[in-house]
């Protein structure tokens, strides 16, 4: 009887045993969120991130995942060379050999816009780009489909323009609400005292500084609405806004990633793994989307290495994984974003825009200067629909 019991226990234990090579293969295909959660099942699984062979397999599986957004897509490149000198290009082809310089909408052409730099807000969505003048007072913002040349001017929001104060408008995100079938823009409005000719105490009693606020724009209603949120504002002005699947993300103050869901207008805060002292002139940070995952690309200026950290789960700091630590042969000036299938774009020390393929380790020069001040990229997929024809 005892022998039979022993045999039965062996059968049970053997039936529950999963060979390491099989479990590693299965785990390597999981999303980062699931991998982090399964790491507490076994001690050997918790050490997988330190296993070079497993991480190579995991990276390859992550980068090889296909997404419809990447099919037949190219790039938008926004190049700022200096005051009154900026260019936007559409790039296509396997090696981005097809380059078309776009004619900007009339409201953004000199002398209409002056010397204010033009910025692309977040990502290109359904063939639509949201562009705005970064230092304009008031800010000029449009939705623009470069293929159809359709332009929709965004009306002014609830900002007040009072001579005694400087009004600052900070666009934070542009995206598509698939539940409400609507395009939305979120921005923050703030006020500061004008430095010149300060008011005396008597005048201050008569003129009160307005309170800062958040507001959101709806294309369907063509109007702005204030929202009572206390979210961290964007800290890194350059390349710190991303959008994916109905959610706008930005890198906020004290290195927090803010994620704003457009459908239910709720936000989430995720501490980043970066140290607070990384906010300086020598450290470059880029918030982007890498194959459906929120990612941060970092490097110190004039070095030959950069890192890619990927977020597994919103609000969970421990779900960040340092996915890549890349050492190159030439110096990187700054990372500027991620493309499709694991491409990371950066400007070199000579100013040239280059693409690093994370899957092959190869570098391709794009044939465009990245610009001495800043450069933006966004994945772009042509769309011949009218902007108002939202249902996509």
pLDDT, position 274? 80
Average pLDDT for runs of 10 along the chain of length 392:
49 55 78 76 72 82 74 85 79 87 82 67 91 79 93 93 87 94 95 66 65 95 94 77 93 89 95 69 82 87 83 91 84 81 82 86 84 81 82 51
pLDDT, position 390? 57
Q: How far is CA 211 from CA 158, 192, 360, in A?
A: 12, 10, 51
Closest by CA position to 375, among listed 339, 338, 334: 334
Alpha-carbon gap, residue 133 to 111, rounded angstroms: 13
Look up the pTM and report it: 0.85
Q: What residues contact residue 160 under an 8 Å CB cut-off, 6+ apart?
A: 167, 191, 210
Alpha-carbon gap, residue 62 to 328, rounded angstroms: 22
**Residue count (the chain):** 392
The CATH superfamily holding the domain 70-380 is: TolB, C-terminal domain (2.120.10.30)
The answer for 162, left when phi > 0, alpha when psi is -120 to 50, beta otherwise, is beta
SS3 of residue 213 by DSSP: strand
Residue 34 DSSP symbol: H
- Helix (H) or strand (E) holding 306, with range, is strand 303-311
| Residue spans per domain, the chain | 70-380
Structural tokens at position 312: 């597994």
pLDDT, position 138? 75
Is the CB of residue 233 less than 8 Å from the CB of residue 252?
Answer: yes
Alpha-carbon gap, residue 64 to 102, rounded angstroms: 31
pLDDT, position 12? 44
- Cα 18 to chain centroid distance, Å, stands at 39
pLDDT, position 13? 46
**How far apart, in Å, do the first and last CA atoms of the chain sit?**
68
Alpha-carbon gap, residue 331 to 105, rounded angstroms: 36
């Amino acid at each position: 009887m005892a022998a039979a019991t022993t045999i039965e226990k062996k059968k049970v234990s053997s039936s529950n045993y999963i060979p390491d090579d099989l479990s590693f293969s299965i785990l390597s295909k999981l999303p980062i969120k699931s991998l982090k959660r399964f790491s507490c099942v076994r001690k050997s699984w918790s050490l997988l991130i330190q296993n070079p062979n497993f991480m190579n397999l995991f990276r390859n599986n992550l980068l090889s995942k296909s997404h419809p957004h990447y099919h037949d897509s190219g790039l938008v490149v926004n190049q700022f060379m200096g005051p009154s000198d900026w260019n936007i290009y559409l790039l296509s082809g396997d090696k981005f050999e097809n380059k078309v310089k776009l004619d900007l909408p009339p409201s953004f052409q000199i002398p209409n816009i002056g010397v204010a730099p033009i910025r692309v807000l977040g990502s290109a969505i359904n063939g639509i780009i949201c562009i705005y003048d970064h230092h304009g007072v008031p800010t000029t913002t449009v939705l623009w489909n470069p293929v159809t040349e359709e332009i929709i001017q965004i009306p002014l929001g609830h900002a007040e323009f009072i001579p005694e104060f400087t009004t600052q408008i900070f666009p934070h995100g542009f995206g598509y609400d698939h539940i409400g079938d609507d395009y939305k823009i979120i921005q923050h409005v703030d006020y500061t005292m004008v430095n010149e000719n300060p008011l005396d105490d008597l005048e201050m009693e008569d003129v009160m500084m307005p309170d800062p606020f958040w507001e959101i724009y709806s294309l369907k209603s063509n109007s702005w609405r204030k929202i009572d949120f206390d979210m961290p504002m964007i800290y890194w002005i350059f390349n710190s806004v991303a959008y994916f699947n109905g959610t706008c993300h930005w890198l906020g103050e004290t290195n927090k990633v803010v994620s704003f869901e457009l459908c239910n207008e709720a936000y989430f805060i995720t501490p980043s793994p970066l140290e607070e002292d990384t906010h300086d002139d020598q450290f470059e940070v880029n918030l982007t989307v890498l194959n459906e995952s929120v990612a941060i690309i970092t490097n110190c200026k004039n070095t030959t290495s950069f890192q890619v950290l990927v977020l597994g789960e919103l609000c969970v700091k421990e779900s960040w994984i340092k996915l890549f630590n890349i050492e190159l042969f030439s110096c990187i000036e700054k990372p500027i974003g991620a493309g499709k299938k694991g491409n990371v774009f950066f400007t070199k020390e000579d100013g040239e825009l280059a693409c690093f393929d994370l899957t092959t380790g190869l570098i391709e020069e794009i044939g465009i200067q990245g610009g001495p001040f800043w450069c933006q990229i966004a994945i772009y997929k042509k769309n011949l629909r009218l902007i108002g024809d939202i249902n996509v």
